[in-house]
Structure 1
Amino acid sequence: MAKNEQVKNGIFPMGPKNDAYAKYFVGQSYLQGLVNDPEVNVGVGNVTFEPGCRNNWHIHHNGFQILLVTGGEGWYQEEGKPAQKLTAGDVIVTHDGVKHWHGATKDSWFSHIAITAGTPEWLEPVSDEQYNALG
C-alpha cells in the first residue's frame, strides 16, 4: 500500500478522475470543484494525486495560485529554484507569471486545495529525469 492513502478520505471529497486536465498531468489525478458561484472569479478545487503523479510546468497569467496542502507528501518547484517537499499544513503562493509545477512524491498520495485566478498556460511535462532526481 502506498503511503498516505488515507488522503482519499480527506475532509473534502476527492472527486472524480481529472479527465478534463489529464493531458496536463503525468499519472492519475482527481479533481473536486469546491466553489460553484458564477459571481466568484476564482477557482477553488481539491486536487488529489496518486503516487508519482504531477502536473506539467505551467504559468498563471493575470492571476495567481495558492495551494493549501491537506494531506500526503508532495513537491512544488518554481523554475530555476530547488523543489520544496510539501506536507499537510504547508501553504504555497505562486505569483502571476511564475513557471512552476506540483505533484505527489514517488511513494505517497498527495492532496491540496488549489485557489486559482487568471488563465493557465500549460507547458511541457516535468521529465522523468527531473522528477526521479528529487529526494
Structure 2
Amino acid sequence: MHSFKDEGTKAPNVHHLGDAWLNMLIQANDDFNYNITQAIFSPNATLDWHMHKTPQVIIVLEGEGYYQERGKAPVIMKTGDVITCEIGVEHWHTSSAHSKVSYLAIYGEEPTIWTEKLTREYYDSVAKKLEEK
C-alpha cells in the first residue's frame, strides 16, 4: 500500500533542475491502464518539455506551480486545480519560484516522451512574468 502522505523517492536530475520527489501510487497493469504518481517539486525547480501518448490529468494537492502547453501562455496552477492535457500535446509543469508544489499526475502506461530541455533562463522569464500579475 502507498500513501500520498509519503514524500516518495528523490528523483535523479535527468529531466529537471532542482529537487523533486516521485511517489508511484498506482502502476498501470492489465486491469487499469493508467499510472498515478505523486510529484513534489521544491520551489524554483524546472521540468523539461514532454508529452504523452495518452491524456494526462494533473491534480494540484498543495502549493503553487506553473503549467504551459507549447504555443500557449504559461499559467499558475494552485491547490485544487485540475488540469487536463490532451494526447500528444507538448507541455511542462513544475513548482513556482516561491512555492513548492505537490500534485497527482495520472497518465497512461506508455513512457513519457521528453522533447526539449527547459532552460533556467526560460523558467526565470516565466516566473518573472507570472509573479508580476
Contact 1:49 1:111 in 2 (8 A): yes
* Structure 1 gap segments, 5+ residues each: 1-9
What's 1:121 paired with? 113
Contact 1:26 1:125 in 2 (8 A): no
How many residues are matched? 123
What's 1:87 paired with? 78
Distance 1:54 1:103 in 2: 6
Contact 1:12 1:46 in 2 (8 A): no
Shift of 1:88: 0.4
TM-score normalised over the length of structure 1: 0.84
Matching residue's letter, 1:132: D
Shift of 1:53: 1.1
* Structure 2 gap segments, 5+ residues each: none
Distance 2:35 2:24 in 1: 8
What's 1:58 paired with? 50
Distance 1:24 1:36 in 2: 20
Shift of 1:37: 6.0
Aligned-residue CA RMSD (Å): 1.7
Give yes or no for the alignment of 1:41 onto 2:33. yes
TM-score normalised over the length of structure 2: 0.85
What's 1:18 paired with? 11
Distance 1:128 1:11 in 2: 29
**Helix, strand or coil at the partner of 1:75:** strand
Which runs of 4 or more aligned residues in structure 1 lie more than 3 Å from their structure 2 counterparts after TM superposition? Answer: none
What's 1:5 paired with? none
Distance 1:36 1:90 in 2: 23
